[in-house]
Structure 1
């Protein structure tokens, strides 16, 4: 029985490269001379440091530009609140969301079931597995989900006959 998985993943190597490029650009830009603006990465959490909120926004803009150039979908970034550090300095944590959350997975399963396509959808941890009798029906399902879910980046993997 043919099947495929709906997942949400990001390329961690591309994220690390984008962070390094953004830090290099911040270090070389004239408007950041003498400031403590930088981005630190710890696994799936990025911490953006700057002297004030304006510079923080500038650093985040540089980061999103670098991520976009490296084909990392910026919709997977979840920005936290801005915290004050010593003096005027501020920092913000940006979490990289990986995997489909339970609410979104339930929404996808309900969408597929309401479409009356002859497929079965089930939640498998942080992924949704869709199986059906024919390949064409599975491709219709992929098209339906692509058209309907646009608030979060999704990938379609493990297509098996």
Structure 2
């Protein structure tokens, strides 16, 4: 019986490359000369450190641009509020990964409401979709790609025929 998994994964290697490129750009840009501006990556959290709120916004734009170029969807970025003190400004960007329960329920509900003859079941942080026909599974993929209100990027893997 054909099946595939719906997941939301983040490529850590590409994230590391994006942060490295952003750091390189900050060190070479004229408007950041003489400032102690940097990006730090710890697990799936990127910390932006600089001297002013304006520079923090510029750094966030740089990070988003570099992540986009590396194929990281901006939907998985959760930008926290900046912490501004006298001479330092700091902001944390959390990279979300995995399907949480409300999103999984929303996806399963959309699949069931579409009346496509498939079964969808949540398994930890993935959703397994099984059906009798390969065409039905591809229709589900197209349905999910067309959904605009999902706040996480989805990948389809482990397609078995």
* TM-score normalised to structure 2 length: 0.96
User: Displacement of 1:50 after TM fit?
Assistant: 1.4
Tell me the alpha carbon deviations over residues 34-67 of structure 1, each in whole angstroms, 9 at most, x when there is no partner. 1111100001011011111100010111111111
Q: Which runs of 5+ in 1 are unaligned?
A: none
Trace 1:56-95 onto structure 2 (pairs within 5 A).
56-85=56-85, 87-95=86-94
Cα distance in 2 between the residues matched to 1:118 and 1:139: 12
Please state whether the residue corresponding to 1:13 is helix, strand or coil. helix
Paired residues, number = 160
Trace 1:7-156 onto structure 2 (pairs within 5 A).
7-85=7-85, 87-149=86-148, 150-156=150-156
Cα distance in 2 between the residues matched to 1:97 and 1:6: 15
Moved more, 142-151 or 107-116: 142-151
Tell me the alpha carbon deviations over residues 95-136 of structure 1, each in whole angstroms, 9 at most, x when there is no partner. 110101110100000011111111000111111110001101
User: Displacement of 1:146 after TM fit?
Assistant: 1.0
Moved more, 105-114 or 76-85: 76-85
**Structure 1 consecutive aligned stretches of length 4 or more whose deviation exceeds 3 Å:** none
User: Displacement of 1:151 after TM fit?
Assistant: 2.9
Cα distance in 1 between the residues matched to 2:16 and 2:44: 10
User: Displacement of 1:83 after TM fit?
Assistant: 1.1
Q: Which runs of 5+ in 2 are unaligned?
A: none
